[in-house]
Amino acid sequence: MEPLPRDFYDRDTVEAARALLGCRLVRVLPDGRELICRITETEAYVGRMDKACHAYGYKRTPRTQTLFAPPGTAYIYLIYGMYHCLNFVTEPEGEPSAVLIRGAKVITNGDIIAENRFGCKMDQLTPYQRKHFLDGPGKLCQGLTLTRAENGLDLTDPNSGLYVCPGPAPEHIQVGKRIGIDYAQEAIDFPWRFWTEE
């Protein structure tokens, strides 16, 4: 599987967020095993005009520095002091924008992901655990063992340990407001969340 090229990310962030649905997210572990998921939920964040973005108004801090990196860079940050969130930097370098990966479905090595999430195999998951397996950004990062250590990885490099490959586009895409941004004033209402019902 070939990683998506840099020009896939070097475009309008909202368009990229929609186009990422159905793509394959590949996490290569240090021992060479691949954890592969299908992306099912995304959110767009655009720094130049979006008050929900960490780099709104081009705010550059040690935390947001990665948002100014070339498109196709992984931006991973910590929230609530305990959950990591995976984002893909978009638009030209210097434009702080990114797509948050909110959810995914397992394709390969689900047992490894289940061990990372719950300490058990897939067939030992409860119905609740199965339903909510990777349906949140923190859950996804836990399942794929992604932390701040992977912040800044080049998603276009198959040797980086984290990349994205094309996948079949979903037939039906749901559109709505983003989650957990009550502080963002008018940006609360931007319809920049995309997901598939599966």
Question: How many CB atoms sit inside 10 A of residue 55's CB?
Answer: 24
What DSSP designation does 115 have? H
Is residue 9 classed as helix, strand or coil in its secondary structure?
helix
Q: For residue 198, what pLDDT is reported?
A: 67
**Residue 135 corresponds to which amino acid?**
D
Beta bridge partners of 195: 41, 174
CA dist., res. 80 & res. 138, Å (int): 10
Residue 83: what pLDDT? 93
pLDDT of residue 147: 96
The pLDDT profile of the chain, 198 residues, written as one tens digit per residue, is 799 999 999 999 999 999 999 999 999 999 999 999 999 999 999 999 999 999 999 999 999 999 999 999 999 999 887 899 999 999 999 999 999 999 999 999 999 999 999 999 999 999 999 999 999 999 999 999 999 999 999 999 999 999 999 999 999 999 999 999 999 999 999 999 999 986
Provide the whole-model pTM: 0.96
DSSP letters for 112-137: HHHHHHHSS-GGG--HHHHHTSS-SH
Q: Is 191 exposed, middle or buried (0-12, 13-18, 19+ CB in 10 A)?
A: exposed
3-state secondary structure of 185: helix
Q: How far apart are CA 118 and CA 115, in angstroms?
A: 5
Strands (E), 47-181: 74-79, 83-89, 97-108, 162-165, 174-176
Q: Which of 145, 143, 163, 164 is nearest to 153 (CA)?
A: 163
Collapsing DSSP to helix, strand or coil, 60 comes out as coil
User: Given this structure, which CATH class describes domain 6-162?
Assistant: alpha beta
41: left (phi over 0), alpha (psi -120 to 50) or beta: beta
The Cβ-side half-sphere exposure at 78, using a 13 Å CA radius, reads 8
